[in-house]
Chains A and B, each alone.
Chain A
Amino acid sequence: MHRRSFLATTAAGTAALGFPTIVRAQSKEPIKIGFPGPLTGPFAALANDQQRGAILAMEEVNAAGGVLGRKLEVLFRDDQLKPAVGAQRTKELIENERVDFIVGGLAANVQMAINEQTKRAKMLFISVSQSDEITARPDASPLTFHEALNPTITCRAVGRWALQNLGQRWWIVYADYAWGKQCNAVFTDVLQKHGGTLLGATPYPLGNAEFSPFLPKIQAAKPDVLVSATPGADNLAFLKQVISYGMKKEMRIVQPLHWIPVTKEGGPEVYADVYAGINFYWELADTIPVAKRYVEAYRKRFGTPAGDYGAYAYSGILEVVRGVTLAKSTASEAVAEALHAHPVYDHYKGKQWWRACDNKSFQDLWIVKGREPGKLHGEWGLLDVVTRIPADEHLDRTCVEKGFA
């Protein structure tokens, strides 16, 4: 076999297997993006959706000829939802794999660990899940961008809407860690500023499956609204127990977010009439043309409707690509500068923009409500879209509040 045909066959073979090594057969080195995320562990379903979003973005970019004539390659690494592992994987991506940028992260504390590494390496990082700190001092950096919503925005938006539409007297149950505590603080603040009443707030240790000891007390307090900041598997256990005590009929339930994989697992018996915020839901394709394009591409590639967290990753990767194309460079500072100079973008759900002071992305979110049993639209048609909350910088803390003079 000739050398050339040997190369061609091996290249075709590896391409068929989907190995990223195919790019080595090309003349130019690819542009590499490292993508750490918790591919195993309790948030794995969300991380897998993120991975699919990132793969879709990469494949679309490469099908359209790549970036600056180079292929785009995304390298995924499992951070196991542990800050130390996230830091280590990121360091390896930067030093061994020589990636040009980092996109990724799920859970605020792991994002911080990744961010420490990218700051040290002076590398552009687009974080794609919720965190308040990442765009505030001292964690913020000129090269750290935040594509996702954050607890302040989500809980202000959901809280204000719920206060206007669901009732005035609240009880809050929240997981006792960063995200839960931030949500509790923001909800409490919303109640104070807009005339609601907080009947009580109950923290519980993250990962707890038994909520029954404090449900009778909440039931006796008779709140109009029960707010549940209980992520992942906790969310299922919490709602099931609330239902078993007959509380769902006695009060409205609202949570900062619905996570699509968890909502699907719980089904309409658990999630019917439970309100929440969400950054993206695939049925938005019915009303938003750019969402329709994204949802169809995602379904064609993976056979399922697009999820919520995958959309962040999709948009994050495309923002790196847009920055590189605008800057005509892969230097992190140049890309960041280009994104500052052209802050407005729209990859999957409508107009978004980067705020200059903190590199925070502002974007629409939606209030959704679980559909009742028998009213689902197919396997994944779990939610009714109640209303759109337009992107608004006032929903986040101000630049000054975040430590930028």
Chain B
Amino acid sequence: MPDISIAMLATQLFTGLVLGMIFVLLAVGLSLIFGLMTVVNFAHGSFYMLGAYFGFFLFGLTGNFWVSLGVAPLMVGTFGLLVERFLVRPLYGRSIDDPLLLTFGLSLVLVEGARLIWGKIGVTFDPPRELGQAVDLGFTRFPAYRLFVIGITAVVLLALWLFLDRTDVGLIIRAGSRDPLMVQALGIDLGRIRLLVFGIGTLLAGLAGVLAGPMRGVHAEMGVTVVIEAFVVVVVGGMGSLAGAVLAGLMIGEVVGLTTLVAPKLSEIMVFVVMAVVLLVRPSGLLGEAGLLE
């Protein structure tokens, strides 16, 4: 057992936080989409991958990271709108397997498409120069870009929470997740709300992708494992629960980070160990409602 200093532990907590933030962005989108329309979006990892590639593409065009960060998620969100309108929408009201199969197939198409367009070895783009260095936190030097990822994700989550909690549209989304039939009976057009939510969910995945690009590199398969971990986060948090997704995302990020410090070989498995333990204790997840998808 190596001796572990407080400074190292603190560094590891920060590192885990960054991992957690990416999980959270992905899981919140998945959870929103699942909560409102019971669509298990298997293509979510591909939207993440698209975000990274769009970011890379815009970076090549403008040389400006901020353009990538601002525009790439919007492009992914717009693509998400099209996917909902033309592919997912015809499947509402059918078995939960149908949209699952559709999005699974879509993810295969997108991964192959990315290989065709951007090549097979992957691409890279850099964080902006002002965030390219490591900064001194007192106890350690930590990459400025990773601190920025923590900050921007917190801001986005806060904005999302305000939107869902304080606006009329947010109210409808929350009501729609509870009881879609009743919402429709009240004369609300749930079709447009579903479109909007799919757009927001995929936009968040795109944002996660463009944020992850400068850290992890960009390649066609980058969404494949991430989406599995994001699903685990959603399940641990409770299907359809946003607060649960945030909590579970941060928790799993920290667990992976800290496990790596003491037993690196176990860190991969820990994601699933956490899931197993949580599900044993709380079968519907940390903050999930009992009865959904059972």
Is B5 on the interface with A (CB-CB < 8 A)?
A: yes
Q: Which residue of A lies closest to B143 (CB)?
A: A244
CB neighbors of A among B193-243 (8 A): 212, 214-217, 219, 221-222, 225
Decide: B19 and A244 in contact? CB cutoff 8 A: no
Q: Select one of A213, A233, A245 contacting B122, CB under 8 A.
A: A233
Decide: B2 and A217 in contact? CB cutoff 8 A: yes
Can you list, as one digit per residue, whether each of A241-281 has a CB less than 8 Å from chain B (1) or not (0)? 10011100000000000000110011101100000000000
Decide: A245 and B19 in contact? CB cutoff 8 A: no
In the complex, chain A residues whose CB is within 8 Å of the CB of B122: 233, 236, 265
Q: Select one of B127, B214, B225 contacting A207, CB under 8 A.
A: B225
A232–B256 CA distance with the chains assembled, in angstroms: 23
Is B8 on the interface with A (CB-CB < 8 A)?
A: yes
A44–B122 CA distance with the chains assembled, in angstroms: 11
Decide: A217 and B215 in contact? CB cutoff 8 A: no
Closest chain-B Cβ to A272's Cβ sits at a distance in Å of 13
In the complex, chain A residues whose CB is within 8 Å of the CB of B216: 209-210, 237, 240-241
Number of residues from A at the complex interface, CB < 8 A: 38
- The verdict on A213 contacting B267 (CB below 8 Å), with A237-B216, A245-B141 known, is yes
Decide: A212 and B19 in contact? CB cutoff 8 A: yes
Decide: B221 and A202 in contact? CB cutoff 8 A: no
Closest chain-A Cβ to B261's Cβ sits at a distance in Å of 6
Is B280 on the interface with A (CB-CB < 8 A)?
A: no
A353–B265 CA distance with the chains assembled, in angstroms: 40
Is A204 on the interface with B (CB-CB < 8 A)?
A: yes
Decide: A236 and B19 in contact? CB cutoff 8 A: no
Is B121 on the interface with A (CB-CB < 8 A)?
A: yes
A207–B256 CA distance with the chains assembled, in angstroms: 16
Can you list, as one digit per residue, whether each of B98-122 has a CB less than 8 Å from chain A (1) or not (0)? 0000000000000000010001111
In the complex, chain A residues whose CB is within 8 Å of the CB of B140: 216, 219
- The verdict on A203 contacting B264 (CB below 8 Å), with A45-B120, A244-B134 known, is yes
Q: Which residue of B lies closest to A264 (CB)?
A: B121
In the complex, chain B residues whose CB is within 8 Å of the CB of A232: 121
Contacts A/B (CB < 8 Å), 25 sampled? A41-B120, A42-B120, A42-B221, A44-B121, A202-B264, A204-B264, A210-B216, A212-B146, A213-B16, A213-B19, A213-B260, A214-B260, A214-B264, A216-B8, A217-B8, A232-B121, A233-B217, A237-B217, A241-B216, A244-B146, A245-B134, A245-B141, A246-B134, A261-B121, A265-B124
In the complex, chain B residues whose CB is within 8 Å of the CB of A202: 264
Closest chain-B Cβ to A349's Cβ sits at a distance in Å of 24
Is B35 on the interface with A (CB-CB < 8 A)?
A: no
Interface of A: prevailing SS = helix
Q: Which residue of A lies closest to B112 (CB)?
A: A40
Is B46 on the interface with A (CB-CB < 8 A)?
A: no
- Identify the interface centre among B216, B256, B257, B261: most chain A CB within 10 Å of its CB: B216
Decide: B115 and A40 in contact? CB cutoff 8 A: yes
CB neighbors of A among B122-151 (8 A): 122-124, 126-127, 132-134, 140-143, 145-146
Decide: B19 and A240 in contact? CB cutoff 8 A: no
In the complex, chain A residues whose CB is within 8 Å of the CB of B256: 213
Decide: B124 and A236 in contact? CB cutoff 8 A: yes
Q: Which residue of A lies closest to B123 (CB)?
A: A265
Is B18 on the interface with A (CB-CB < 8 A)?
A: yes
Q: Select one of B12, B126, B215 contacting A241, CB under 8 A.
A: B215
Decide: A244 and B261 in contact? CB cutoff 8 A: no
A207–B219 CA distance with the chains assembled, in angstroms: 11
Q: Which residue of A lies closest to B214 (CB)?
A: A240
Decide: B12 and A205 in contact? CB cutoff 8 A: no
Closest chain-B Cβ to A48's Cβ sits at a distance in Å of 8
CB neighbors of B among A139-181 (8 A): 176
User: A176-B265, A209-B222 are known contacts; what are 12 more A-B pairs with Cβ within 8 Å?
Assistant: A42-B221, A45-B119, A203-B265, A209-B212, A212-B215, A214-B261, A217-B2, A219-B141, A233-B121, A237-B216, A240-B215, A245-B143
Q: Which residue of A lies closest to B261 (CB)?
A: A217
Is A405 on the interface with B (CB-CB < 8 A)?
A: no
Is A220 on the interface with B (CB-CB < 8 A)?
A: yes
Closest chain-B Cβ to A254's Cβ sits at a distance in Å of 20
Closest chain-A Cβ to B147's Cβ sits at a distance in Å of 11
In the complex, chain A residues whose CB is within 8 Å of the CB of B78: none
